[in-house]
Amino acid sequence: MKLVKWITICVLIGFNNFVTADGGGQALQQISPDALTQALGNANQAYSVGASDLFVNPALLATHTKRSIQFSNINAIDWDIMQFVSFSIGFPLGAYGTLGVGAVGVNVPDIKEYTSTGQFLGNFSNFQSLFYLGFAKKFSLVSLGLNLKYYYSGFRGNTFEDNGSGWGMELGLYYIAHSNFKIGFNFQNSYQVQWGNNYQEEVPKRMQIGFRWSPPPFHTDFIELLFGFEQIQEEPIRLRSGIILTPIKNALGLHKFQLYGGIGNLPLEQRNTRLNISDYRDGEQILSAGGSIEISLSSSILVQLSYSYSYRYILNNQHNISTYIWF
């Protein structure tokens, strides 16, 4: 446990040594990529949910023993507000490691455009997308992962049109400190988004650490507690925590039935807490809940259907529907 202590201390010290940067491209990466992570108050770097681990912590891919596919849609009910989808695939390569590929995208339609004097010019839309290629390798109790990602965004309107793109990288770590206690860590480098009008936008560095714990006497995973921290440059450290209940496991014709709850993005510092709504970012406080049903279609195929709902104080509340397949 001394190693756990020192990892935690070093990471939290690192949280407080970020310098300055800004970037709207960060907004897309702050949206929970699937229903399970959203239900838990946002993603946790120590909790593996399937192929969407690619978007959370590439090192988690090394925990996969089967091929996996994930597809998610946010705001399936409020489709006219914001359209978000994510898709990912995980490929275990045996002793060589695990490969992951995927993409996330969001489209915000019908944004009103006005002149400086208040004259209405019409509507415009903004889309953002991220394409991921990840690889992870397990070394005993430690797994390491690497993501390469390509960001592409564009604006479409009556009076203007522009596109921007850039390349980024993520490094991930996953450590099994104990059979009932795991630690995950993810670091994103800063990178430049180059727009067609020669404007450059910097996407800031980001660090995240997550913890997963099954408290005694529930080491059989009936109850699991998750908590973690995130910091983006120039923004306060934010806390997120969640709980997982598994009341049914291999019974009543189900492989697993789970319930989730969480609270996310609680600022632990007072600096720079103002939310920039124009970025459509997921940095505000949220309350969330959800559930999932996992069934066996055959001896080798598992399917999980998940739903989550998040209450937000400023931005629109979100519904998320996800499908996961292992084969």
Buried/exposed 77-102: b ≥16 CB within 10 Å, e otherwise? eeeeebbbbbbbbbbbeeeebbbbeb
| Total of domains in the chain | 1
**What separation in angstroms does the CA of 169 have from each of 33, 176, 285, 314, 317?**
18, 24, 27, 30, 30
pTM of the model: 0.82
Contacts of 276 (CB under 8 A, 6+ apart): none
pLDDT at 160: 66
Give the chain's mean pLDDT. 81
Residue pLDDT, tens place only, 53-82: 999 999 999 999 999 999 988 764 444 556
Token pair, residue 266, equals 């609680």
The answer, yes or no, to whether residue 111 has pLDDT greater than 80, is no
Mean pLDDT for the stretch of residues 203-221: 85
Q: What is the CATH number of the domain that holds 252?
A: 2.40.160.60
Largest Cα–Cα separation, the chain: 66
Residue environment code for 163-187, b if the CB has 16+ CB neighbours within 10 A, otherwise e: ebbbebebbbbbbbbeebbbbbbbb
Q: What pLDDT, on a 0 to 100 scale, did the predictor assign at position 283?
A: 58
Residue 275 has pLDDT above 90, yes or no: no
pLDDT at 318: 79
Backbone φ, ψ for residue 31 (5° rounding): -80, 130
Domain limits for position 286:
2-326
For residue 109, give both structure tokens. Answer: 């339609």
Distance CA 192, CA 130 (A): 14
282-291 pLDDT per residue, tens? 456 789 999 9
Backbone angles phi, psi at 170, to 5 degrees: -135, 145
Contacts (Cβ under 8 Å, ≥6 apart) of 109: 80, 83, 123, 125
Task: Report how far Cα 124 is from the mean position of its chain's Cα atoms.
Answer: 27
DSSP state of 277: G
Pairing, β 238-251 against β 223-232: antiparallel
